[in-house]
Structure 1
Amino acid sequence: MTDNNPPPAPVNFSRLSENDSAPLYEVVKRHISEAILLGEWASGTVIPSENALAADFGVSVGTIRRALAELVSEGMLMRRRKTGTVVTGWAPLHNLRYFFQYFRLHNKEGALLKSRTVLLDYQLGEANAKDAEKLLIEEGSPVYRLHRLRSIDGVPAMHEQFTIVASKVPDFPGPDELPELLYRYLLEQYGLRVAAVREQLTAGLANDEDCRLLELTAPHAVMIIDAVSFDQAATPVMMTHQRASTEHFMYVNEIR
């Protein structure tokens, strides 16, 4: 009987860094999920064997097996007898891991898009009354404030403001060393896993800053996203305020 499944695409995974503080199986999951989400492994692709992946990543077969088992349970992969492990074509975009890395921005055809960010402002300041209420800290407590512009293929899509509890991130990097993938950095550097997000979406008119950063002409509507992120102990660690134009992009929230 002939197997008509397409061969796996040639995805080159680099060996994992010994300095990566996240569990190895989670890092393997991240790399494999990226290959799927970015279309490097299409729906129906039979991925390489566990032994081949272990050699590629430089980890044990047990680590690969655990990473694949979790991706199967999340619905990104499925096991087929006599075939192997297959990409399902279903991406759980509600999952916080994908939410934070790709921010659920899609084009008008529904394809998931990967954005790039530029840091606009960086400050170490004191929590105001609103910060203290939302983050359950004392007013005047030290907080980091970041302002970033998020673009897709050079087109401004969103600008975002972060307020991070400073006590949660000792020795936080300065503006020149701040990584683009902030949530991944918080997990890998501090073991700070965002376990829940309370999010509020509203609509409004673009202000002067929106028009300047997002290249809009007033009057223009913008989507406003306010969120508080919580760690594993249900403690608030971060507050975000995002303002986006939906002229070219969609914000998709999938519930499973």
Structure 2
Amino acid sequence: MSDTYEKAVGAALTATPLHEQVTTRIAARIADGQWPEGFVLPPEAELARQLGVSYGTVRRAMQALTQDGLVIRRRRTGTVVTGRAPRHSLDRWYKYYRLHSKDGQLVNTETRNIDLYEDTATLKEAQQLRLTEGAPIGRITRLRISDGRPVMIDRIALPIGRLSSFPQKPEDLPPLLYKWLLDEHGLRLGALREEVTARIANDADRRLLNLDGAAPVALLQIDEVGYDLQNEPLLVMQHSALTDEHCYINEVR
């Protein structure tokens, strides 16, 4: 086993229940595509050694991952990554992303915050977020960078009234938005409603995506409303993705 592998799996654990931390640690590597479909996980005793936890803690984590459909136990082979989406992904996943390459591989991206500022809600946003028109919201614009190239624009609106504070500079906002909402504001994402369409890139899109020339460029448009565990609207998101080398995969189970 390589040093790089052990460092990635065995980073310092925090104060939340150990089996949940182990579950999240392993699930994150699967979600990132670092442990792809068909990957055979190390034996539980080896994982326990790397993480510095008991065999029983790792066993509980493996049971949770199996129940969620992320791994499967195979006789003679061991524990294998299934490649399927988790049954309860939004309860645990903070890196929610489904953009894949045309061959079906999950795309690993860098999130770059471009702009954020306080504004007022449009009529449509107010309806989606159950606010009054003109209520204060925070706006965030982000880019997803893959292999040095911007491939998706994220435009996000959040109700200021539900946040303990709103960052003043793009660099103050961490890349994992859902984790930030939970850790800093106690807001956990419970559900997402998506509407998928297509459109032609406008001038603002072309600038952000570094599109040259005048030829029309098709974008995949994913409009989402996120809800908390009480089914109250938490945020509105608009994702605009290039389609020449990528596709959006949504597995229904």
- Common fold by TM > 0.5: yes
Map 1:28-43 → 2, pairs under 5 A? 28-37=22-31, 38-40=33-35, 43=38
Which whole-Å CA distance do the structure 2 matches of 1:141 and 1:69 have between them?
A: 45
Aligned residues: 245
Q: Which runs of 5+ in 2 are unaligned?
A: none
Quote the offset at 1:242 in angstroms: 1.6
**Counterpart among 144, 154, 162 of residue 160 in structure 1:** 154
**Counterpart among 211, 214, 219 of residue 216 in structure 2:** 219
TM-score, with length taken from structure 2: 0.84
1:203 aligned residue = 198
CA shift in 2, pair 1:189/1:27, >3 Å = farther
Which whole-Å CA distance do the structure 2 matches of 1:102 and 1:229 have between them?
A: 12
CA shift in 2, pair 1:196/1:211, >3 Å = same
CA distances 1:37-93 after superposition (whole Å, capped 9, x unpaired): 4234762514232x5434433455554333221110122222345x58502332316
2:184 aligned residue = 189
| Off by >6 Å, runs of 4+ in structure 1 | none
CA distances 1:99-118 after superposition (whole Å, capped 9, x unpaired): 75151111111111111121
1:171 aligned residue = 165
Residue 189 of structure 2 aligns to a residue in which SS? coil
Q: Percent identity of the aligned residues?
A: 36
CA shift in 2, pair 1:108/1:253, >3 Å = same
- Whether 1:78 aligns to 2:72 is yes
TM-score, with length taken from structure 1: 0.83
Q: Which runs of 5+ in 1 are unaligned?
A: 1-5
Which whole-Å CA distance do the structure 2 matches of 1:149 and 1:115 have between them?
A: 9
Which whole-Å CA distance do the structure 2 matches of 1:169 and 1:24 have between them?
A: 29
Residue 195 of structure 1 aligns to a residue in which SS? strand
1:91 aligned residue = 84
**Counterpart among 64, 67, 74 of residue 58 in structure 2:** 64
CA distances 1:8-50 after superposition (whole Å, capped 9, x unpaired): x9443202134xxx6544432221023334234762514232x
RMSD across aligned positions (CA): 2.8
